[in-house]
């Protein structure tokens, strides 16, 4: 995992909680300031760490970008299809659990082809959160559980990526 992946995970961690807040029957938008502040602090730290690490070789950088692009394209298509299926089934309120499962699954090819084993526990945790969350009957509680849990998982992965010490040749 790189500082760039830490930045992305930090931002999406904040978005998970924002989604959870706005998925409530009576959302309180001011609460969004907390996850936004946490994400901003983690992004700032990632920028500082990125400046201390050697950049990837151009060939490696291109390879990583291609892997992430394909995994993200799969993720986007799966989300689009999944939302439509949920809407057609009349269970659109299962959006966040579905999103957690799809985001988790998108980390599998990333872990496989980078290769970086740390993406596998991240994938497993998000899939487990999505499946568990889907079983929560209350829409408000479901959204809170999936949003906060997913954010904590992504922020933890971000912190791990930032604490990593690069190998020296």
Domain residue ranges of the chain, discontinuous segments joined by +: 3-163
Q: Which residue has the higher pLDDT, 97 or 62?
A: 97
At 165 the pLDDT is 64
Taking the chain, what is the end-to-end CA distance rounded to the nearest angstrom? Answer: 18
41-67 residue pLDDT tens: 999 999 999 888 877 788 888 888 898
10-24 residue pLDDT tens: 999 999 999 999 999
Average pLDDT, the chain: 91
Q: How much is the average pLDDT of 140-149?
A: 96
153-168 residue pLDDT tens: 999 999 998 887 654 4
Residue 78 has pLDDT above 90, yes or no: yes
Contact between 50 and 4 under an 8 Å Cβ cutoff? The reply is yes
DSSP, collapsed to helix, strand or coil, labels residue 79 as helix
* Separation between Cα atoms, residue 20 and residue 144, nearest integer Å: 5
Residue 81 has pLDDT above 90, yes or no: yes
What 31-36 contacts at long range (C-beta under 8 Å, 24+ apart), as own/partner pairs, is 35/151
Count CB-CB contacts under 10 A for residue 28: 9
């Amino acid at each position: 995992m790189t500082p760039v992946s830490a930045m992305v995970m930090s931002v999406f961690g904040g978005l998970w909680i924002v989604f959870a807040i706005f998925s409530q029957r009576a959302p309180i938008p001011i609460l969004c300031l907390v996850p936004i502040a946490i994400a901003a602090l983690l992004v700032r730290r990632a920028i500082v760490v990125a400046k201390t690490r050697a950049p990837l070789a151009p060939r490696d950088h291109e390879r990583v970008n291609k892997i992430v692009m394909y995994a993200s394209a799969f993720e986007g298509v799966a989300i689009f299809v999944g939302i439509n299926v949920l809407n057609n089934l009349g269970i659109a309120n299962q959006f966040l659990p579905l999103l957690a499962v799809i985001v988790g699954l998108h980390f599998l090819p990333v872990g496989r082809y980078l290769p970086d084993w740390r993406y596998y526990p991240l994938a497993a945790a998000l899939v487990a959160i999505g499946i568990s969350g889907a079983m929560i009957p209350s829409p408000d509680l479901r959204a809170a559980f999936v949003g906060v849990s997913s954010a904590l998982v992504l922020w933890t992965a971000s912190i791990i990526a930032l604490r990593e010490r690069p190998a020296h040749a």
